[in-house]
Chains A and B, each alone.
Chain A
Amino acid sequence: MASENRLARAAWVGTALAPALTLLVVTAYIPIVFALTLSLYYRTAFNPRLVWAGLDNFAWLIAQDALWAALWRSLVFTIGSVSLQIVVGLFFGLLLNEAIKGRAMMRSLVILPYLLPTIVIGLVFRWIMNPQYGVVNQILLDLGLVSQPINFFGGLKEAMPSVIVATAWQYGSFAALLIFARLQAINPRLYEAARTCGAGPWRSFLDVTLPNLRTTLLLIALLRGIWMFNKFDLIWIITAGGPLEATETLPVYVYKIAFQDFDFGRATAACVVMFLILLAASFAYFRFFNPTKEVEVGR
């Protein structure tokens, strides 16, 4: 815009960014820096004194078997949950893309799990999956599919998959939302072109739908991956990391250090470790996949 001079532009940038910047600094940056520095001190909840620890908290952490076990479980949980969410998202996104009666109602139902408070979801799942008085086991037993009730959230082998399914139930709808919206934006002429070239439904899915979905899927994987890696509340509400740490992912491990041992120095150190892992993973991710290309619109 030729009539705008540099001062006006600077004023614009400044005012436009000011609210976001202030909020971020006050609510995110300062607390994060504080937490990061806290990891270099011995700091338990009962003793407000700060004693310099250097890297001792980190040294202690790395020596703990529990940390590595929790890291492994975090990876299993993150990859399992995100994959399942993408599958659920594709399932509903694709199916709802067709013009079916009652589509609006169905779409609302699909989004609903995402908008429910986690505690509601956690408690509902505990209620329906209980081996003694839960309705799911009752149905399974009545239908003859199993002979003994399945201890979904209490079984050593069953707990992690069950928790993965629970988070996928909650967040799969978010993926479905994004995929559905993206599908709606695909130019229908592309499909026509594919059909005139003789492509069947599977072929056009591979050649038209998937490439267009690529960006969305990668973005979902990135965002959900970060969120699931840091996911704490649903796991805590349903299993509290149990049974016998079968579902103790890194966030649960950190929470226990912070609020059962009351050791904030070590807990923040563990958070730093998590943060660094995510940072490294994001860099690698951007390098390999390049999920977002900025479209240069401004000047």
Chain B
Amino acid sequence: MRKHDAFSRRGVLKGSLAFGAGLSAPQVMVRSARGQNAKRLVFISEESSPKAQAAYERINADFKRDTGISVTMEYPGFTNIAKRVATLIAAGTPADLVWYGAGTALEVAVQGQLANVDDVVEEVNAPQNLRLVVNGHNRSIPTSQQFVYAWYRSDLYEKAGLKPYTDWESYLSAVRALNKPPQQYGNLIPSTALGASHLLMFTMLQKNDAHWFRFDPAKKEYEVALDQGENLARAVETLDFLHEAHASSPEASNYNWAELMSEYSTGKLANSYYVGARLLEQVQTNNPELAPVTKAIALPTRKTDSYYISVQGFHIGEKSNVDGAKNYVRFFLKHPAYIDWLHSVPLHIIPAKRETLRSEAYLKNETIQKRMDVLEFLESVWGKGTPPYYWDGPELNPLYGLYTNDSLGGWMLAERNIRKRGSREIVQQAAETIRKKKADLARRRG
């Protein structure tokens, strides 16, 4: 083998050319990929069900007719939409419009990548608790919300002579009484670093008034508070509570949203939960007999009856076709197909405004009419929830991604229920993880 080839003059020259090309490539790529078009909008939507797609098509066609702007849709799917947005920004071609969770958009907003939408937010009079204010301006136009609540089998409760639970004690006694493995389980406590687990843990922390961060008015920033004082005690309590509940659940060490619904549809669960009413819709299709006896209920309360709200809305990319996008949003919210779009998964996508929920157009839907009990439930808990980035203080918490991105709440449940470590050390380790990430972030930004 003629090894000296690699070190010959030509070899070195070629190598450095390649290296230089590699170094300059990013700048070249980023610059050439820019250039926006006023007659075009790229709209990325998290919701891609066929009915939603049909609604989009109607609205886009009418929009094109009225303004001449053509809208290109993209449906990357729920798990991948954040990556899609990130990749587009990285390539210098940010999307004009993205419809997805405000919580996910927060990351992007904090980096200054979302446009100021104060005007539209004021025009549509979005509810205060659903707004997203970053660097002094609104960055999100909320259209809908979802929150975490529970579903239970009323027939099983009746058969066992039980009343639906209200607080933590009654919840535990109910799930224990209804736990007859392996034919039937009391509830499902997914314990893994994934979204379903994390949201459950978060909501129960909210019920116990435990906080992740604390706002320091002097430093004007958020400090990790999970392992301090009252929070530590409450967090430990919450973890132990979910550990007790896990004794009446399958191990569920790799379960996420899909398995929550699949498992419930098999009829083996007496209680489950979901971030909305899609569970009901799935049960209706997969195991229709169970649907009438599947009832909505709030997760058990303790110190508060707060819950986790997931806000979805329109987000407009900074340095994109901002005006066109704003006009589209205005058009969308006034278009009759907006209600059809809300109906694509009835009762699951909850309108941002209470008036819309009570409006005739919204109520004119067969599924909703059949399940007015769910609607009444939604009314009864309206306004009691908080988005996670407003949970720890009145100011927006931009550090909320530090424990969300890798589902730290789910990790805590996994450590407690699968690895069976002690609650206190888990909570402390979680707090330390968040602190380390915060320091790492500061070091690299500063």
Chain A 149-172 per-residue mask, 1 if CB under 8 angstroms from chain B, else 0: 101011110010000000000000
B83 on the A face (CB < 8 A): yes
A38's nearest neighbour on chain B, judged by CB, is B26
Chain B 240-261 per-residue mask, 1 if CB under 8 angstroms from chain A, else 0: 0000000000111111000100
Q: Which of A48, A244, A256, A261 contacts B89 (CB 8 A)?
A: A48
Interface stretch among A26-34, A83-91, A186-194, A209-217? A26-34
Task: Decide if A154 touches B25 in the complex (CB within 8 Å).
Answer: no
Task: Decide if B83 touches A259 in the complex (CB within 8 Å).
Answer: yes
A262 to B113, CA, bound (A): 15
Please report which residues of chain B, range 12-43, place their CB below 8 angstroms from some CB of chain A when the two chains form the complex. Answer: 18-19, 21-23, 25-27, 30
Chain B 85-119 per-residue mask, 1 if CB under 8 angstroms from chain A, else 0: 01101101000000000000001100101000000
Please report which residues of chain A, range 124-158, place their CB below 8 angstroms from some CB of chain B when the two chains form the complex. Answer: 130-133, 148-149, 151, 153-156
Is the contact region of chain A dominated by helix, strand, or loop, or is it mixed? loop
User: Could you count the A-B residue pairs with CB atoms below 8 Å apart for me: how many are there?
Assistant: 98
B415 on the A face (CB < 8 A): yes
A11 to B23, CA, bound (A): 33
A243's nearest neighbour on chain B, judged by CB, is B253
A264's nearest neighbour on chain B, judged by CB, is B90
Given contacts A37-B23, A45-B87, A48-B90, contact A244 B192 (CB under 8 A): yes
Name which of B23, B268, B411 has the most chain A CB atoms within 10 A of its CB. Answer: B23
Q: Which of B89, B182, B405 contacts A45 (CB 8 A)?
A: B89
A132: chain B residues at CB < 8 Å are: 182, 250, 263, 266, 268
A256 to B254, CA, bound (A): 17
B418 on the A face (CB < 8 A): yes
Is the contact region of chain B dominated by helix, strand, or loop, or is it mixed? helix
A149 to B182, CA, bound (A): 9
Number of interface residues of A (CB under 8 A): 37
Chain B contact-residue range equals 35 or more
B214 to chain A, nearest CB (A): 24
Task: Decide if A48 touches B30 in the complex (CB within 8 Å).
Answer: yes
A45 to B87, CA, bound (A): 6
Q: Which of B108, B193, B266, B418 contacts A46 (CB 8 A)?
A: B108
B175 to chain A, nearest CB (A): 17
A156: chain B residues at CB < 8 Å are: 253, 418-419
Chain B 181-202 per-residue mask, 1 if CB under 8 angstroms from chain A, else 0: 0100000000011100000000
A47's nearest neighbour on chain B, judged by CB, is B111
A37 to B406, CA, bound (A): 27
B141 on the A face (CB < 8 A): no
A65 to B419, CA, bound (A): 18
Name which of A30, A50, A133, A242 has the most chain B CB atoms within 10 A of its CB. Answer: A242
B65 on the A face (CB < 8 A): no
Task: Decide if B25 touches A34 in the complex (CB within 8 Å).
Answer: yes
A47 to B110, CA, bound (A): 11
Given contacts A133-B266, A148-B182, A260-B405, contact A33 B22 (CB under 8 A): yes
B262 on the A face (CB < 8 A): yes
Given contacts A34-B22, A37-B22, A46-B108, contact A242 B193 (CB under 8 A): yes
A42 on the B face (CB < 8 A): yes
A226 on the B face (CB < 8 A): no
Chain A 259-285 per-residue mask, 1 if CB under 8 angstroms from chain B, else 0: 111101000000000000000000000
Task: Decide if A154 touches B251 in the complex (CB within 8 Å).
Answer: yes
B111: chain A residues at CB < 8 Å are: 46-47
Task: Decide if A243 touches B262 in the complex (CB within 8 Å).
Answer: no
Q: Which of B26, B89, B254, B419 contacts A239 (CB 8 A)?
A: B254
B263: chain A residues at CB < 8 Å are: 132-133
B411: chain A residues at CB < 8 Å are: 244
B204 on the A face (CB < 8 A): no
Given contacts A50-B27, A244-B193, contact A151 B19 (CB under 8 A): no
B220 on the A face (CB < 8 A): no
Q: Which of A30, A42, A46, A153 contacts B444 (CB 8 A)?
A: A42
Q: Which of B18, B19, B414 contacts A244 (CB 8 A)?
A: B414
B26: chain A residues at CB < 8 Å are: 34, 38, 43, 48, 50
Please report which residues of chain B, range 267-311, place their CB below 8 angstroms from some CB of chain A when the two chains form the complex. Answer: 268
A155: chain B residues at CB < 8 Å are: 251, 253
Chain B 69-91 per-residue mask, 1 if CB under 8 angstroms from chain A, else 0: 00000000000000100110110
A41's nearest neighbour on chain B, judged by CB, is B26
The residues of A with any CB-CB pair to B shorter than 8 Å are 29-30, 33-34, 36-38, 42-43, 45-48, 50, 130-133, 148-149, 151, 153-156, 159, 239-240, 242-244, 256, 259-262, 264
Interchain residue pairs with CB less than 8 A apart (21): A30-B21, A30-B25, A33-B18, A33-B22, A33-B25, A37-B19, A37-B23, A45-B90, A46-B113, A130-B259, A131-B251, A132-B250, A133-B266, A148-B182, A155-B251, A156-B419, A242-B192, A242-B414, A243-B253, A244-B414, A256-B406
Top 10 nearest A-B pairs (CB, nearest first) are A45-B86, A33-B22, A154-B254, A37-B22, A243-B253, A154-B253, A46-B111, A45-B90, A34-B25, A259-B83
Extra pairs beyond A132-B250, A151-B251, A262-B86 (4, CB < 8 Å): A46-B86, A46-B111, A154-B253, A244-B193
